[in-house]
Amino acid sequence: MIIILDMILTQRAGQTVFKDLLESDTIDIEKLKQYAQKNSIVAEFKPLCWKILLGIKSPYRATRRYVDQANCDIYKRFHSTLITCRIIQTSTPISQQFLSMYLLDSHAIKLPISSTVKIFYRIIKLNYLFCL
Residues 28 and 41 in one domain: yes
pLDDT computed for residue 124 by the predictor: 62
Cα separation, 11 vs 18, whole angstroms? 11
- DSSP SS3 for 26: strand
Residues 54 and 73 in one domain: no
Q: What is the DSSP-derived secondary structure letter of residue 63?
A: G
Parent domain of 9: 1-59
CATH of the domain at 47: 1.10.10.750
Residues 34 and 2 in one domain: yes
Residues 74 and 95 in one domain: yes
Residues 54 and 93 in one domain: no
Residues 41 and 76 in one domain: no
pTM of the model: 0.61
Q: Give the count of domains, the chain.
A: 2
The letter for the amino acid at 97 is Q
Residues 68 and 118 in one domain: yes
Those residues with Cβ within 8 angstroms of residue 101's Cβ, 6 or more apart along the chain or in another chain: 75, 78, 79, 82
For 82-118, write each residue's pLDDT tens digit: 888 888 888 989 888 888 888 888 877 776 655 555 6
Nearest to 87 by CA among 72, 115, 109, 118: 109
Residues 12 and 70 in one domain: no
For 35-69, write each residue's pLDDT tens digit: 888 888 888 888 989 999 998 899 999 999 999 99
